Structure 1
Amino acid sequence: MAKIRPLMLVPPVIFLGLAAMFLVGMQRDDPDALPSALAGRTAPDLVVTPLGDLPAFDGSMLADGEVKLVNFWASWCAPCRVEHPNLEALAAEGVTIYGVNYKDKAPQALAFLEELGNPYAAVGQDADGRTGLDWGLYGVPETFVIDGEGKVVTRFAGPVTERVIEATIRPALESAAAE
């Protein structure tokens, strides 16, 4: 019988370790979900500038007693175009949505809203991306559900589709309203 050398055990042990990691990773609820350190915490400051002559907002408006969405978007963002009709539908239902135009130029942002419509109750511009960093943005679009006290209930990274509205946004809005 051949003698087993310790180095011969290394490849099978590495394989078993990797297999265990993959198995654990596949057990997560939503493998595409990006965690948010803000959930349950007061929303960070909103340091934004007005966008054209559109109604502006600031951080104090996030704690006005009403549930709302904060949506980060940009005119150069293709997924932002995809989600836009869904944001307009939510706004038509009476959902208050504040828009933060992220790392964009004002003329292009205003043209985007002129072309596609404006679902936002108020809009601010984050031209240098500082507010996006404070909010932990990975990119645009990203949407945050904010409760009436100004706390982040949930965050969704990516375009808000009908499926996302039903599976994530609407339940978070209802949960925030019930608190």
Structure 2
Amino acid sequence: MQRVKLFLPLLVLLVLLPLFYVGLRLDPYAMPSALVGNPLPDFELSLVEQPDVTATSADLKGQVTLLNVWATWCFACKAEHPYLNKLAEQGINLVGVNYKDERQAAQKWLRELHNPYQYSLYDNEGRLGMELGVTGAPETYLVDAEGVVLYRHIGVVDDRVWREILGPQYREALGQQSP
């Protein structure tokens, strides 16, 4: 019995090693989304810059869109914003979701830092964000012309992310080789 007790730690280690090996090879940033492959949730929200105008999920249909969740309180969003302006200048269709923010602060942000969005939805209560499964800003969803979510990116969209991940998928959704 004493000999079995001596080998018990070795047996436990042999069982745990394969689990550790698999766990270390997983991408810690990969967060699957139940929305990928499904229609964008239905919504009707006012616009940041025009509180009396509303937009719905149906308004996104007909064109491939990057739906970008942002907020003025989000430091990473400020780092991402210049690159979004660059994408907008290239003709990439961007729609913003201002997430759990103050409207006046969001309006000032867009005035001062330039507005890359066709329009930005005002989701001050975070309901759309909750339906999207937002874990924090920034997050970007690639939505096809039929309103189906093709991809979810958590974190800053920069040159590398666009070149390696979002750009190729955006072009594929458009049916093109380059934007």
- Listed as ranges, the matches of 1:112-127 within 5 Å are 112-127=109-124
Superposed CA deviations along residues 91-149 of structure 1, whole A, max 9, x for unmatched, are 11111111010000111111111111100001111111111110011110000011111
Alignment partner of 1:72 is 2:96:
no
One-letter code aligned to 1:41? N
Instruction: Rate the CA distance shift 1:9–1:59 in 2: closer, same or farther, 3 A.
Output: same
Alignment partner of 1:52 is 2:46:
no
Aligned to 1:114, what secondary structure does the other structure show? helix
**1:84 counterpart residue number:** 81
Instruction: Tell me the CA shift for residue 10 of structure 1.
Output: 3.3
Alignment partner of 1:42 is 2:39:
yes
Instruction: Rate the CA distance shift 1:26–1:100 in 2: closer, same or farther, 3 A.
Output: same
The match for 1:10 among 1, 8, 11 is 8
| Residues 47 and 131, structure 1, Cα contact 8 Å, conserved in 2 | no
**1:25 counterpart residue number:** 23
- Alpha-carbon distance in 2 for matches of 1:138, 1:17: 33
- Alpha-carbon distance in 2 for matches of 1:148, 1:126: 22
One-letter code aligned to 1:158? G
Alignment partner of 1:100 is 2:97:
yes
- Alpha-carbon distance in 2 for matches of 1:75, 1:56: 21
One-letter code aligned to 1:165? W
Superposed CA deviations along residues 23-77 of structure 1, whole A, max 9, x for unmatched, are 112334x44222111111111123422223277532001222x111100000000
**1:141 counterpart residue number:** 138
| Residues 47 and 126, structure 1, Cα contact 8 Å, conserved in 2 | no
One-letter code aligned to 2:151? T
Structure 1: state its 5+ residue gaps: none
How many residue pairs get aligned? The number is 175
One-letter code aligned to 1:58? T
One-letter code aligned to 1:11? P
Alignment partner of 1:158 is 2:155:
yes
Instruction: Tell me the CA shift for residue 3 of structure 1.
Output: 5.0
What RMSD over aligned residues (CA atoms) do the two structures have, in Å?
A: 2.0
- Alpha-carbon distance in 1 for matches of 2:43, 2:66: 14
| Residues 64 and 142, structure 2, Cα contact 8 Å, conserved in 1 | yes
- Alpha-carbon distance in 2 for matches of 1:172, 1:155: 11
State the identity %: 37
One-letter code aligned to 1:21? L
- Alpha-carbon distance in 2 for matches of 1:148, 1:97: 13
